[in-house]
Amino acid sequence: MAVTVRQLMQRKQQSQPIVAATAWDYAFANLMDESGVDLVLVGDSLAMVALGYSTTLPITLEEMLHHAKAVRRGVKQALVVCDLPFLSYQESLSQAIHSAGRVLKESGAEAVKVEGGYPAIAETVARLVQVGIPVLGHVGLTPQSVHQLGYRQQGKTDDGGEKVLQEAIALEQAGAFAVVLEHIPAELGRRITETLSIPTIGIGAGPHCDGQVLVTADLLGLSDRQPPFARVYANLRQTITQAIAQYAQEVRTRQFPPERADSGR
Ligand code: KIV
């Protein structure tokens, strides 16, 4: 049975960690789903890992929709959540409803994610939830604010930690079904997780969160560099470049194709 927003929310009470990972196309979405991931995030990090931009800022709603549709086709079980990209929801409540509505209607994703806390974003979350759109919040390091925050750990001081906590509380009060906590001290991750009644999904936020999310290009070793909190579970960059180099060498030395066609397919 496919994972629902309601089921994910219950995981907190059941103390069952939520497993989330990103995907940007049909093939990876299908692999994520077959591996038993609970939540597949069409994160706007795809701007960097799949489209080669240096930040997430340039990606458009149209591009996110294109990728979300492909991901949706690859997923049968997991919940699909799609990021609203920079400036597709910050201008006005009606812009946010229009963008989030398009994501649900056109891509088939079941929820959207927005970055930031209160007051403006909490108001946006409340309005989206009112019209029936489930929202995943995202506080701490918010990459859409890279030109203000950089990629530094957030919430390190007492004031900074309090701000992240209050933003997470505001998102819960606004009706978010869960909150991503990115790159904050583990102790703050624990405090927020204990304070909220909705699940927290951490990325670089320590082991106490109710779930974890990683950018799949990082966990599979596809990116040329990973953030300090990522764990690399495979070195696919090396595996793939070795395979392609071998193919190139065999073509150049006329070892491939063989005299008699391979009957492998
Ligand atoms: O865009 C993304 O991949 C994300 C994750 C880092 C949570 O927002």
Centre of ligand 1 from the C-alpha of residue 242, in Å: 29
Evaluate if residue 263 carries a pLDDT over 70.
Answer: no
22 pocket-lining for ligand 1 (C-beta < 6 Å): yes
In angstroms, the CA 184 to CA 193 distance is 12
Per-residue model confidence (pLDDT) at position 118: 83
pTM of the predicted model as reported, rounded to 2 decimal places: 0.96
Q: Which of the residues 167, 182, 194, 259 is marked catalytic?
A: 182
22 CA closest ligand 1 atom index = 3
Residue-wise DSSP of 185-244: -HHHHHHHHHH-SS-EEEESS-TTSSEEEE-HHHHTT-SSS--TT------HHHHHHHHH
Centre of ligand 1 from the C-alpha of residue 132, in Å: 23
Which whole number is the average pLDDT over 144-169?
97
Centre of ligand 1 from the C-alpha of residue 161, in Å: 20
Least reliable range by pLDDT among 41-45, 158-162, 224-228: 224-228
Per-residue model confidence (pLDDT) at position 224: 83
List the residue whose alpha carbon is closest to atom 6 of ligand 1: 215
Q: What single letter denotes the amino acid at residue 137?
A: G
List the residue whose alpha carbon is closest to atom 1 of ligand 1: 43
Q: How far is CA 75 from CA 7, 11, 26, 178, 198, in A?
A: 17, 20, 8, 21, 24
Evaluate if residue 229 carries a pLDDT over 90.
Answer: yes
Which whole number is the average pLDDT over 83-107?
98
In angstroms, the CA 114 to CA 111 distance is 10
pLDDT digits (tens, 9 = 90+) for 98-150: 999 999 999 999 999 999 998 899 999 999 999 999 999 999 999 999 999 99
In angstroms, the CA 24 to CA 16 distance is 26
Percent of the chain with pLDDT over 70: 98
81 pocket-lining for ligand 1 (C-beta < 6 Å): no
Q: Where are the alpha helices (DSSP H) in the chain?
A: 5-14, 26-34, 46-49, 61-74, 93-102, 120-130, 146-149, 158-174, 186-195, 216-219, 236-252
Q: Are 113 and 41 in contact (CB under 8 A)?
A: yes
Pocket test for ligand 1, best of 28, 40, 45, 201 (most atoms within 8 A of CB): 45
167 carries an active-site annotation:
no
Considering only CA atoms, which of 22, 28, 79, 27 is closest in space to residue 47?
22
Which whole number is the average pLDDT over 83-91?
98
Centre of ligand 1 from the C-alpha of residue 29, in Å: 15
CATH 3.20.20.60 applies to domain 5-235: yes
Centre of ligand 1 from the C-alpha of residue 82, in Å: 10
Which whole number is the average pLDDT over 215-219?
98
In angstroms, the CA 254 to CA 248 distance is 10
In angstroms, the CA 204 to CA 185 distance is 8
In angstroms, the CA 200 to CA 194 distance is 9
Pocket test for ligand 1, best of 201, 203, 216 (most atoms within 8 A of CB): 203
116 pocket-lining for ligand 1 (C-beta < 6 Å): no
pLDDT digits (tens, 9 = 90+) for 174-211: 999 999 999 999 999 999 999 999 999 999 999 999 99
Considering only CA atoms, which of 129, 128, 42 is closest in space to residue 78?
42
**What is the chain's mean pLDDT, rounded?**
96
- How confident is residue 262, by pLDDT bands cut at 50, 70 and 90? low
- How confident is residue 264, by pLDDT bands cut at 50, 70 and 90? low
Which whole number is the average pLDDT over 42-49?
98
List the residue whose alpha carbon is closest to atom 8 of ligand 1: 43
44 pocket-lining for ligand 1 (C-beta < 6 Å): yes
- How confident is residue 225, by pLDDT bands cut at 50, 70 and 90? confident
203 pocket-lining for ligand 1 (C-beta < 6 Å): yes
- How confident is residue 265, by pLDDT bands cut at 50, 70 and 90? low
Centre of ligand 1 from the C-alpha of residue 247, in Å: 34
